Chains A and B, each alone.
Chain A
Amino acid sequence: MNPSSFFLERFPVEARDFILSFLPEALRPWAAALISVVAILAAFGLFFAFLTLLERKSLAWVQNRPGPNRTGPWGLLQPFSDAIKMVTKEDIVPAAADKLLHYLAPVVLVAFSLLTFAVLPYGRHLVALDLDAGVLFFFAAGAGTELAIFMAGWSSRNKYALIAAMRALAQLISYELPLLLSFVPVILATGSLRPVAIVEAQGSWTWGVLPHWNVFTPWGAAGFLLFLVAALSESNRSPFDLPEAESELIAGHLTEYSGFKYALFFMAEYFGMTALAGLGVTLFLGGWQAPCEILQWVPSYAWFGMKLLSVIVLFMWVRGTTPRLRMDQLMRLAWKFLSPLALFNLGAAIVWLVTAQWQFPGALALRWVLASSIVVIPFLVIGRSLSRGLSTRTYGFAP
């Protein structure tokens, strides 16, 4: 019984091949690429629409409110009414703005965010672009979004937008380092930059129930936590949403944007978050692999979707919980805490891989202790040294 031959598993590929069979031979590669693009756009476009609803709903629950519930059952039509509202709004371009760049910035941002979706394996047979250096491509495309943010800030000819764009760039570049470093152990362990190979390397189980996902190793667990923090910051989400900070700063680099362009920025933000969560799922949570062997009859893309959704729900949960960091706290966290820890985590991964040959009884436990102490002890030491002199704040006026 080979799960890769199940009907539901093969259905997307079969459907594509069925459509392709009507086309002449020469057009097929182009049409196949086009179908992949359309499928990704449609699936993640809808996913984005309902993510906005889920975000508003979950934030509302955290704040003891019902959330949007007027448009359709359970507020399910809210994304579409939002879309209509956004499209019909007036699109204002400042008179002094650089018109071309101002127009291009949201487009470039969305384009670069969408590029990152190309290399993620969504299922056993579902990967749009199976690149050998897929992880590298992902970060190269992701770095393009920083250019777009600066384009937006610069072209608005508005001092607030420009300062905010600088601030956003500083944040994004700072957190790129821990984000990349948190992924390096995975690449070290797999020996490949190819997402498909990384997922396949995680596809086995101990006794059929314990999955061999990277998150279930000392370096994987630490790396996943580092990834979560850095990904929150890379996707401009609370508690690292300083670039936009809707409740205290004016809208950051979005100050001079309105109407559909503003919606495009939001779309790109959600796309970026989804793509980063998808990469985290691919590298740490076993991608499309089932959590136990007997559950393999569930189509692999469903597993990927569920894992993706749970990571995103975690992001929303964190957004509902944490207050925003100050700029200096943000920078200190990236440079003094996350980056060194990510380097230590690399050491933990090396120890784990070097000791992989140990066969004596209790070897696994010893390896766990060795590898995790390499991360946990610096975590405690750095954490304590960074919070030295700080105590619980007492407020003079409020009880």
Chain B
Amino acid sequence: MLGLGVIQGLMVTARNALGTLRGDPRRDVNIAYPEMRAPIPESFRNFPFLVTDGTGVHDGLRCVACTMCEQECPPQCITIVMERDEKGKPAKKPKVFNIDISVCMGCGICAEVCPFDSIKMDKVYEVATTERFGSLVLTREDLAKTNTYFHQISPAEAAEVDGRLAEQKRVAEEKAKAAAAKAAAAAAAKAAAGGAAIA
């Protein structure tokens, strides 16, 4: 009958309105953003940061300023200057490490190529600033974040990285020990040979 469709429609909207008012989870699907936040998926990423094993910039930055990320970065947003001591000898530390996040496209290639697991992708999405140029260039101080923080934002990857680093360290130590033992043995052999020669 003519007009029934309007009444049916009114019933649909009434159900929606009352459901929203009652807070029915099927109707009221909103997340009131600043107070409530949607959970971030494990694989979410936006801008890179630098992992430190210590607490700040000057101790324990994993980065050795190899500039691999700088070379690989597709939009060329990373600037690295290596630190040198008075004699001009490289100190295996970055003096300048800047990322211009107004240029960064969040591809994550820097994190992939880093051989020292030093640069990783962050999950901070509130990066708005009141000024266009200076504030969007993140310096070494802004980028350095602790390994604990990395564990917080992506626990699975951080655990994997830690395991790998520990393994590398163990292998390196064993190698060093073996090398030292070999050197000692060689020295001992040399000493013995020398003694024989004398004798």
Contacts and interface: CB of A to CB of B under 8 A. Distances in A.
Interface of B is mostly: helix
Q: Which of A58, A64, A384 has the most CB of B within 10 A?
A: A64
Contact of A321 (B12, B18, B21, B29): B12
Interface in B1-15: 1-3, 6, 9-10, 12-14
A332 B150 CA distance: 67
Contact of B17 (A62, A383, A386): A62
Nearest to A67: B20
Interface of A is mostly: helix
Contacts of A320: 13, 17
A297 interface: no
Interface of B: 1-3, 6, 9-10, 12-14, 16-21, 27-30, 32
A230 to B, nearest CB: 15
Contacts of B16: 61-64
Contacts, number: 50
8 contacts: A62-B17, A66-B20, A66-B30, A69-B32, A320-B13, A321-B6, A322-B9, A384-B2
Interface of A: 58, 60-66, 69, 317-318, 320-322, 379-380, 383-384, 386-387
Contacts of B2: 379-380, 383-384, 386-387
A322 B10 CA distance: 8
A43 to B, nearest CB: 27
A65 B31 CA distance: 10
A95 B49 CA distance: 56
Contacts of A322: 6, 9
A58 B10 contact: no
A65 B14 contact: no
Given A321-B6, A322-B6, A64 B27 contact: yes
B32 A66 contact: yes
A321 B28 contact: no
A317 B10 contact: yes
